[in-house]
Chains A and B, each alone.
Chain A
């Protein structure tokens, strides 16, 4: 049942602001304004996650959804420099059709959600998740779901990230870097990057018993790489050659090794022995952090690095396909 009270005011305000910012971001003629409003939208969404008791998501949204997405989009605006801000809109007739379609669909989805929310509560998997939490090796339920109950999904997610990065590597070579920044920004870099690295390590460690985890830590490390690149470091903190390949594949490699190891030991794939659960989860998370950070920093660089080929084959790295 609906009841209106003053405690709902923040939620109503946040909801209205979300829709408002999204509307203005998507309908602004200036692309740069749209991207910056999108970053603000991401940060507002992080507040909404905190409001809905989802602190892991709030951390991840602020780091990945607002921070890294915003950085990627802002740097992609440079590619649009030749074209105009927002390419031509469609004819008014087609616009009416799309608006009507959107209104009808919003109504239908809203009606379905209304019934879903007001229906009788069913048994949830959450009960099972909390009951088994003591045996999972960690005490943060989201980490338990990600790396123990549904560890296989996380493995596949790391594969998706690697596939996207491989696509970015194949498509072209990296963007031109920046020249060395002025003294103020260099001073900031000297303070910020060590703090970010430390923060990433802390998020990784604390993910076992408090909000945090591999994805938040990896995104924070990638943000350190972005700051380095903006300050003039061409490589965004990434190594070259084989070390970079090892970093990209480390997460999946370790995850698969643990899975195969548990199979060889008599269990199922990724069925951790209970005494080892916590250690194995921390190990896998560490490798995943390195992989995600390397992948996202490489995506920020925009393509195949100049030192992608190891030293011996340096001359053979020319593009041969057209």
Chain B
């Protein structure tokens, strides 16, 4: 399917966009945004490969994997933000 190709290529572009931004920035918050965008790119590749066209039902297993990935990503983001806050507090002391 061409939809699969379009979204898979978009996913790979998003992934490298995030990696590039993570490499170029120094502060944590921009890097966290970049990593989240990379994650979204990976999810996009998964779901685009699970799409099998208008007639066939989609493959549910990549959907479940991406759902798990979404929840894990926000947990990691929350932990990273707490660490960032603590580091800033320590820098101010």
- Chain B proximity of A190: nearest CB distance (Å): 28
**Interchain CB contact (< 8 A) of B17 among A23, A76, A77, A145:** A23
Complexed CA–CA distance, A87 and B51 (Å): 40
- Knowing A22-B37, A41-B40, the reply to whether A102 touches B82 (Cβ < 8 A) is no
Contacts A26-B30, A45-B44, A65-B70 given; does A18 touch B14 at CB 8 Å? yes
Most chain A CB neighbours (cut-off 10 Å) among B6, B12, B49, B67: B67
Q: Is B25 within 8 A of A87, CB to CB?
A: yes
Q: Give the residues in chain B near A53, CB-CB below 8 Å.
A: 51, 58
Q: Which of A51-98 contact B (CB under 8 A)?
A: 51-54, 56-57, 60-61, 64-65, 68-69, 72-73, 76-77, 79-80, 82-83, 86-90, 95, 98
Interfacial chain A residues near B36, Cβ < 8 Å: 38, 69
Q: Are B57 and A125 in contact (CB under 8 A)?
A: no
- On whether the beta carbons of A129 and B21 are closer than 8 Å, the reply is no
Do B68 and A164 touch (CB < 8 A)?
A: no
Check A226 for interface membership: any CB of B closer than 8 A: no
B1 contact set on A, CB distance < 8 A? 117
Q: Given A8-B2, A41-B40, A79-B84, does the pair A26, B72 have CB atoms closer than 8 Å?
A: no
Measured between C-beta atoms, what is the minimum distance from B1 to chain A in Å? 8
Given contacts A2-B2, A160-B72, A164-B75, contact A73 B61 (CB under 8 A): no
Chain B 1-24 residues near chain A, CB threshold 8 A? 1-10, 12-21, 23-24
Chain B residues within 8 Å of A, Cβ to Cβ: 1-10, 12-21, 23-27, 29-30, 32-34, 36-37, 40, 43-45, 47-52, 57-61, 63-64, 66-68, 70-79, 81-86, 88-89, 92
Chain A residues with CB under 8 Å of chain B are: 2-4, 8, 11-12, 15, 18-19, 22-23, 25-27, 31, 34-35, 38, 41-42, 45, 48-49, 51-54, 56-57, 60-61, 64-65, 68-69, 72-73, 76-77, 79-80, 82-83, 86-90, 95, 98-99, 101-103, 105-106, 109-110, 113-114, 116-118, 124-126, 129-130, 141-142, 144-146, 150, 153-154, 157, 160-161, 163-165, 167-168, 171-172, 175, 215, 292, 295-296, 299, 302-303
